Amino acid sequence: MSKNFDVVVIGGGPGGYIAAIRAAQLGFNTACIDEWKNEKGGPAPGGTCTNVGCIPSKALLQSSEHYEHASHGFAEHGIEVKGLGLNLEKMLGRKNTVVKQNNDGILYLFKKNKVTFFHGRGSFVKGDANGYEIKVAGAAEETITAKHVIVATGSNARALPGAEFDEKLILSNTGALAISEVPKKLGVIGAGVIGLEMGSVWRRLGAEVTVLEALPTFLGAVDEQIAKEAQKLLTKQGLAVNLGVKIGTIKAGKNSVSVEYTDAKGEAHTGEFDKLIISIGRTPNTIGLNAEGVGLKLDERGFIAVDGDCKTNLPNVWAVGDVVRGPMLAHKAEEEGVAVAERIAGQHGHVNFNTIPWVIYTSPEIAWVGKTEQQLKAEGVQYKAGTFPFLANGRARALGDTSGMVKFLADAKTDEILGVHIVGPMASELISEAVVAMEFRASAEDIARICHAHPSLSEATKEAALAVDKRALNF
């Protein structure tokens, strides 16, 4: 096996494995190093996303939503369920199977595209513009060389000082996906994507969930109108969301965790929970990379410093995904990985940060792209807004899920779409039309004039675009 490569990618998550595949497609002799292990110690490429993030959380969200439909929603459809039971072990087993299928799929793609895979932890030894030595610490330590290096080492869950993760009582996303028994009382610190998704999973399965959020507003990055609607709907489901909370002492006992906190009014409380999920963000993962050994520059927050093209301060060393600036999203990492591989090949790889969609996979789902109304106001941009509720959408009525709305924001003069925000059924799929439209700098009128299938949820998108010009047809 050759140990000299044109491109070596350190990290096999969405940014890393996609970068490796694209580099191989472009004719480079490519290797990818990844250290994730499955239960048997074998390779499990795919990073946090595949192993303890996007993929397993969606599997559990789907399973728990089925359970909630069976226990509460089916009766409305004339489907009577008797003797409903929960086999949590089997549910978690299905989640693990989905993860393994994705792991195996990536290994297959490496083989198909002739990417050499090394199972272990990659780190810099030495190097310059002529090439880099990379150590692979795995079952057997070895050294490989590369002309170009792409660092895609991802991120780690951020811990609260004094409340380190033990993954038994105090849980990160990893532990939150593997609770072996539904807790009676579950605490969640942080009302972000992970907190809301994991809180939703365990609430549906029977836990009493309390969410503690330090910020005074719910989902501050989301359009305010959409965020308020989402908070109302999630609260109605039974998710207790407390905003403006100041966390005090956290103590883990033998079988429970106590959390001292003050609420937005300054009143003191102590919450007793069977399990506590801490989801307060993530930190870039540069542990063991030996960045300092080769002079790889990190910024003041610990991210690898890169320019707009993902170039680091070292010649022929690039970095993508969660370990660099920008949103910590798997699809953002993938786009950067492709762009870097193409730049190495002398092409003009491109990533448009303005059209990267965001999704929260609660029920209803929350998805958005572009500017929020509060951002446009702050920037002094003149805009028009149009909304359309799923309550007035025929397909949503037939589904029995009429919660939420679609919202369009367009430039007041040119009608160019500046942002689209959705809370409602299948928002994660509906947002793609908005992304395509914005990438082509479409106007709200363009979407309003396109024929959408009837009955479909996508008609709500068309109607919201029509509403920008105050001419919605079904509301």
Catalytic annotation, residues: 454
Does residue 325 sit in helix, strand or coil? coil
Write the CB contacts of 150 (distance below 8 Å, at least 6 apart in sequence). 7, 8, 9, 10, 16, 19, 20, 23, 318, 319, 320, 337, 340, 341
Length of the chain: 475
User: Helix 88-112 crosses helix 54-68 at what angle (to 10 degrees)?
Assistant: 140
Yes or no: say if 368 and 229 are a contact pair by the CB < 8 Å rule. Answer: no
Structure tokens at 206: 């029977």
Q: Nearest Cα to 219, choosing from 207, 231, 209?
A: 231
> d(Cα 360, Cα 224) in Å, to the nearest integer?
15
Instruction: Report the amino acid identity of residue 48.
Output: T
Compute CA 390 distance to the chain's CA centroid, rounded to the nearest angstrom: 25
Q: Could you give the C-alpha distances from 353 to 206, 331, 436, in angstroms and in order? A: 39, 11, 13
The one-character DSSP state at 26 is T
> d(Cα 453, Cα 434) in Å, to the nearest integer?
16
Backbone angles phi, psi at 392, to 5 degrees: -100, 15
